[in-house]
Every structure is written in structure tokens, then in C-alpha cells.
């Protein structure tokens, strides 16, 4: 099944609809979807390295737009949808500590967490329910998400042949490593705050 998904993403990169699919995943990941856009961005850049910067731009802009939805969930719907999402990820006990950290480290929280495997949706929702300044949230999100996706796209476009060889030969191990990174991100979030 994983191999078919990988082949589908590689084939998708050749279609004109590729940026739309990447944008949809990137948008939803910033507010509620558990799969990071990296799983689409990497194979798409491997398949079409000349489109790396375009894909990074799409991922950045849609991630920030999705982050604004996450912010709205936190600001307007935290008592219902926001609590449900934090409970879904087993992080509701840590939400208040994370909220308090915004009073002291708001800029750094957004900048650093946007680059780490800690799910960005938790940052966006918490930013909303903490009442963090929307303009600063948007600007910092552009910086941190842009840095993440442009660096990743640049690395993959430069080393794409080697990356594709590794993916073709060891897809299951790479996927297992990515799952481990995401799980460690959740664990790190739970124990850091």
C-alpha cells in the first residue's frame, strides 16, 4: 500500500493538479490533518526538481492559510473543536502550560515549533486561544514555514537522485523513520510543556 501511495505521488507530480493536491494537504495539516505536507513535497520535488521552488511556495502559502484556520479554531472554537483536537492528540493537560509560554516566549514558540516535528496545528490553535497577535502570528508563520519548505525543497532538488534511490530501495524504512519523527514530535510537545 505504501509503495502504491509513493508511486501515485510521483505520478501526481507530473500532472497539472499537483500543486493543488500539495496545497490541500499543506492547508489541512496546519489546522487539523495529521499528515505533514513533507510526505508529498519530497516525492514531488524528487520527480520534478525544476518545480522545487514553486512547490515550496505553494506549501508555504497554503500552510500559513491553514494556520489562520487553526488560529480561528483556537480563538473562536477552542471550547468545542479545539478541545476535541487537543484531546484527540492526548495533549489537553499540556495546553494551559503551552498557553502560558506565549506570555513569555510567543515569537520564539512560533518560530521554533514551526520548524520542528511538533505538529504545527498545535501551535496554530494554541496561538488563537492564547490571543496571540494575529499580524505577528501570520508574519512569523510565513518565516518559519517558508524556511522549512524552502530548505527541504532545496535539499531535495540538489540531492534528488540520491534521495530517490534511497526511497526506491528503502521506502518502508524511510516511512518508518518519518513516523518515528512525528511520534517524537508529539512526545516532545507533551514533555516540553
Domains of the chain: which residue ranges? 2-192
Least confident of 103-112, 129-138, 174-183: 174-183
**DSSP-derived secondary structure letter, 36:** -
Neighbours of 132 (CB within 10 A): 24
Three cell numbers, residue 116: 520542528
Three-state secondary structure along 126-156? HHHHCCCCHHHHHHHHHHHHHHHHHHHHHHH
Query: What is the rounded average pLDDT for all residues in the chain?
Result: 82
The predicted model scores a pTM of 0.77
Neighbours of 20 (CB within 10 A): 13
Give residue-wise pLDDT tens across range 62-104.
Answer: 999 999 999 998 888 877 776 777 777 676 677 677 667 776 7
**DSSP-derived secondary structure letter, 1:** -
* CB neighbour class for 161 (10 Å; exposed up to 12, middle 13-18, buried from 19): exposed
What is the spatial distance between Cα 117 and Cα 114, in angstroms, rounded to a whole number?
8
Amino acid at each position: 500500500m505504501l509503495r502504491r501511495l509513493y508511486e501515485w505521488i510521483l505520478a501526481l507530480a507530473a500532472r497539472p493538479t499537483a500543486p493543488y493536491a500539495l496545497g490541500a494537504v499543506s492547508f489541512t495539516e496546519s489546522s487539523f490533518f495529521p499528515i505533514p505536507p513533507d510526505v508529498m513535497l519530497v516525492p514531488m520535488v524528487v520527480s520534478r526538481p525544476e518545480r522545487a521552488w514553486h512547490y515550496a511556495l505553494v506549501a508555504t502559502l497554503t500552510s500559513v492559510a491553514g494556520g489562520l484556520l487553526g488560529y480561528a479554531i483556537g480563538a473562536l472554537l477552542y471550547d468545542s473543536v479545539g478541545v476535541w483536537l487537543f484531546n484527540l492528540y492526548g495533549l489537553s493537560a499540556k495546553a494551559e502550560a503551552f498557553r502560558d509560554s506565549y506570555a513569555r516566549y510567543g515569537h520564539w514558540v512560533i518560530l521554533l515549533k514551526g520548524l520542528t516535528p511538533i505538529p504545527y496545528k498545535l501551535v496554530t490553535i494554541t496561538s488563537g486561544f492564547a490571543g496571540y497577535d494575529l499580524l505577528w502570528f501570520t508574519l512569523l508563520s510565513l518565516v518559519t514555514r517558508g524556511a522549512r519548505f524552502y530548505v527541504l525543497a532545496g535539499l531535495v532538488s540538489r540531492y534528488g537522485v540520491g534521495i530517490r534511490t534511497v526511497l526506491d530501495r528503502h521506502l518502508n524504512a524511510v516511512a518508518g523513520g518519518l513516523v518515528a519523527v512525528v511520534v517524537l514530535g508529539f512526545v516532545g510537545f507533551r514533555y516540553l510543556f
